[in-house]
Amino acid sequence: MSDMKYTEDHEYVRFDGDVATVGITDFAQSQLGDVVFVELPEMGASFGLGEDAAVVESVKAASEIYAPVSGEIVEVNSDLEAEPTLVNSDPLGDGWFMKFKLSNPAELNTLMDEDAYKAFVASLS
């Protein structure tokens, strides 16, 4: 079973125990274009499912990053402050945004697996 899940807003969640790493998918970064700024949440902030948690700005647009799960922020990717282009060059690796300590792990069951996400993206074209 994959440790990755996806939302219809093109966020991914990579989970390891009760910690979830959140970022945007390769599809999302390609739609945004060159990322020039990322606003990350404060450490210790708590978010409910679907709440605005971060902002990503590109040469094309600014987009909200929604909390794909409920929980408390336990880490943010401060590398994005100096190098926001990591979101473009490595969205599923070094371009991650934040890590949540899950408050309701059952929410992971509401997210898409990789096959469902690929089908969802294919349906958009």
* Contact predicate 25/92, CB 8 Å: yes
pLDDT for res 125: 79
Could you tell me which residues are beta bridge partners of residue 14? 4, 21
83: amino acid identity, one letter: E
Q: Is 125 a member of any domain?
A: no
Q: Is 94 a member of any domain?
A: yes
Q: Is 122 a member of any domain?
A: no
Q: Is 66 a member of any domain?
A: yes
* Contact predicate 111/102, CB 8 Å: no
Side-chain-side CA neighbours of 55 within 13 Å: the count stands at 6
- Residues 107/25/60/98 CA torsion (nearest 10 deg): 60
What whole-number distance in Å separates Cα of residue 58 and Cα of residue 42? 21
Q: Is 50 a member of any domain?
A: yes
pLDDT for res 2: 56
**Could you tell me the mean pLDDT of each successive run of 10 residues in the chain, 125 residues long?**
86 94 96 96 97 95 95 98 96 97 94 96 92
What whole-number distance in Å separates Cα of residue 5 and Cα of residue 13? 5
* Contact predicate 57/29, CB 8 Å: no
Domain count within the chain: 1
Q: Is 121 a member of any domain?
A: no
Residues spanned by the domain of 58: 4-103+111-116
Here the CATH number for the domain that contains residue 36 is 2.40.50.100
Q: Is 17 a member of any domain?
A: yes
Element (H, E) at 25: none
- In sequence order, which residues have a C-beta less than 8 Å from that of residue 82 and are 6 or more positions away? none
Q: Is 65 a member of any domain?
A: yes
Phi-psi region of 75 (alpha: psi -120 to 50; beta: other; left: phi over 0): beta
